[in-house]
């Protein structure tokens, strides 16, 4: 009798352990989603180098990031219970047929382009001479199953006799075409100049967008920038173009005689063009949360200007939801952000959040 009861306990324990392990494994099973949530707010100053000058800033510019990782069942349950993360379908993050490694490489390339734009925009805003020479548009990545005869690394000089100074211009031009049309592409492969007839393909559309014609590539513009003093931005393990505005503000602050920070902790996000235009980004609600966690007092976000733009709206709603005292400041350009900062009063030490109680 005792043996039988002991045997039941043993088998019951084994069964319980098996069920526990099975549940644990199932929670870690991958799903076709990415888990997106708050990242961090990082001081930009150590990342930026302009000439040999050292920053003399009383405040801080902070770039903001999101956390993005391959989702699993646990992430799904966590997002439903807490609402602090969001599950985003893979198709909204990855290009068609793109691996996570290729995505990371593309985001790193986007960061380099963003840094170039940030430096150019800052020098122009400061009235410094800038010479930008467009080498061409490089085929950074071929979309899968696109047999166009093009190769990664090809440098496109012209399409149908037209030269383009940005990827946006190329995409806009190809958008006027229809799949199946043939365009003439002049390119450089290695050191060899070539001309190819390329049949345009139908590109997959993002949610809410129409399908369009294209070359079946992920393009990046290659530029040579001549400025004085020299400027560099070094980042580690941060990808994407959304830190452009904050990089540009930090570079500009090194070029101007006054301190734009005025003693404040200033966070923000937004892409930047070479002419200083600020563009929309993804996951802004999580960047607002990240900035608030680092006690930022001001948060720059892209202004909503076009139908479908929601950065400004989402940033304000998130700030209200989490009850942050941080001020949300929408801007459409670097110049607008600078104008706002120049009209700020210098921050009084007595406003510091670290000074509490009586002495």
What are the tens digits of pLDDT across the range 24-37? Answer: 444 445 678 888 89
Q: Are 272 and 121 in contact (CB under 8 A)?
A: yes
User: Among 24-38, 85-99, 130-144, 279-293, where is mean pLDDT lowest?
Assistant: 24-38
Strand partners, 276: none
User: Among 72-86, 92-106, 186-200, 282-296, where is mean pLDDT lowest?
Assistant: 72-86
What distance in Å separates the CA atoms of residue 300 and residue 185, rounded to the nearest whole number? 40
Pick the CATH number of 131-226 from 3.40.50.12280, 1.20.120.450, 2.30.42.10, 3.40.50.300: 2.30.42.10
What distance in Å separates the CA atoms of residue 260 and residue 111, rounded to the nearest whole number? 24
What are the contacts of 16-19 at 24+ separation with CB within 8 A? none
User: What is the share, in percent, of the chain residues with pLDDT greater than 70?
Assistant: 84
Which positions are annotated as active-site residues? 242, 287
What distance in Å separates the CA atoms of residue 276 and residue 335, rounded to the nearest whole number? 7
What distance in Å separates the CA atoms of residue 204 and residue 143, rounded to the nearest whole number? 10
C-alpha pair distances (Å), 130 with each of 138, 193, 337: 22, 29, 21
Highest mean pLDDT range out of 48-62, 204-218, 343-357? 48-62
Q: What is the pLDDT of residue 34?
A: 85
What distance in Å separates the CA atoms of residue 358 and residue 351, rounded to the nearest whole number? 14
Q: Are 237 and 205 in contact (CB under 8 A)?
A: no
Position with higher pLDDT, 168 vs 78: 168
| Residue 22 pLDDT > 60 | no
| Residue 86 pLDDT > 90 | no
| Residue 87 pLDDT > 50 | yes
What distance in Å separates the CA atoms of residue 253 and residue 251, rounded to the nearest whole number? 5
* Angle of CA points 19, 20, 22, to nearest 5°: 60
| Residue 11 pLDDT > 70 | no
pLDDT in tens, 308-342: 999 999 999 999 999 999 999 999 999 999 999 99
Q: What is the pLDDT of residue 57?
A: 84
- In sequence order, which residues have a C-beta less than 8 Å from that of residue 298 and are 6 or more positions away? 264, 265, 266, 267, 268, 326, 327, 329
What number of H helices and E strands is found in the chain? 8, 17
Helix ranges (H only) for the chain are 2-27, 73-82, 100-125, 167-174, 244-255, 284-293, 311-322, 334-342
Position with higher pLDDT, 88 vs 241: 241
DSSP state of 306: S
Q: Are 58 and 263 in contact (CB under 8 A)?
A: yes
Strand partners, 67: 37
| Residue 177 pLDDT > 90 | yes
Confidence class of residue 89 from pLDDT cuts 50, 70 and 90?
Answer: confident
- To 10 degrees, the CA torsion angle through 209, 212, 217, 218? -30
Instruction: Give the mean pLDDT of 105-112.
Output: 87
What distance in Å separates the CA atoms of residue 156 and residue 194, rounded to the nearest whole number? 10
Q: What is the pLDDT of residue 143?
A: 80
pTM of the model: 0.80
Q: What is the pLDDT of residue 255?
A: 94
Q: Are 59 and 266 in contact (CB under 8 A)?
A: yes
Instruction: Give the mean pLDDT of 90-97.
Output: 79
Structure tokens at 319: 């700030």
Domain spans in the chain, listed from the N-terminal domain onward: 131-226
Q: How far apart are the first and last CA of the chain?
A: 75
Phi-psi category of residue 154: left, alpha or beta, with phi > 0 → left and psi -120 to 50 → alpha: beta
Q: What are phi and psi of 351, to 5 degrees?
A: -90, -5
Structure tokens at 248: 């540009």
pLDDT in tens, 147-173: 778 999 999 999 999 999 889 899 999
Q: What is the pLDDT of residue 28?
A: 47
């Amino acid at each position: 009798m005792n043996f039988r009861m002991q045997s039941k306990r043993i088998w019951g324990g084994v069964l319980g352990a098996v069920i526990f392990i099975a549940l644990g494994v199932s929670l870690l099973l991958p799903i076709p989603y990415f888990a997106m949530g708050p990242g961090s707010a990082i001081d930009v100053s150590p990342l930026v180098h302009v000439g040999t000058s050292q920053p003399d800033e009383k405040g801080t510019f902070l770039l903001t990031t999101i956390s993005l990782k391959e989702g699993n069942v646990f992430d799904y349950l966590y997002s439903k219970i807490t609402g602090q993360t969001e599950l985003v379908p893979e198709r909204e993050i990855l290009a068609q047929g793109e691996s996570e490694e290729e995505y990371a490489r593309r985001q790193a390339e986007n960061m380099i382009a963003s840094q170039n734009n940030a430096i150019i925009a800052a020098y122009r805003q400061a009235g410094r001479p800038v010479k930008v020479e467009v080498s061409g548009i490089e085929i950074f990545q071929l979309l899968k199953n696109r047999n166009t005869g093009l190769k990664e690394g090809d440098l496109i000089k012209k399409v149908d006799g037209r030269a383009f100074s940005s990827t946006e211009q190329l995409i806009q031009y190809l958008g006027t075409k229809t799949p199946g049309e043939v365009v003439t592409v002049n390119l450089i492969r290695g050191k060899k100049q070539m001309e190819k007839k390329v049949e345009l393909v139908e590109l997959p559309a993002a949610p809410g967008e129409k399908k369009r014609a294209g070359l079946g590539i992920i393009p990046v513009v290659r530029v040579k920038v001549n400025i004085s003093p020299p400027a560099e931005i070094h980042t580690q393990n941060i990808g994407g173009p959304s830190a452009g505005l904050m990089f540009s503000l930090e570079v500009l602050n090194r070029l101007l005689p006054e301190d734009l920070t005025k003693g404040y902790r200033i966070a923000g996000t937004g892409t930047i063009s070479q002419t200083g235009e600020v563009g929309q980004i993804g996951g802004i609600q999580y960047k607002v949360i990240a900035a608030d966690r680092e006690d930022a007092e001001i948060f720059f976000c892209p202004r909503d200007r076009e139908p479908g733009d929601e950065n400004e709206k989402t940033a304000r709603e998130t700030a209200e939801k989490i009850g942050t005292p941080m001020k949300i400041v929408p801007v459409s350009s670097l110049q607008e952000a600078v104008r706002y900062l120049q009209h700020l009063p210098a921050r009084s030490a007595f406003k510091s959040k670290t000074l509490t109680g009586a002495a």
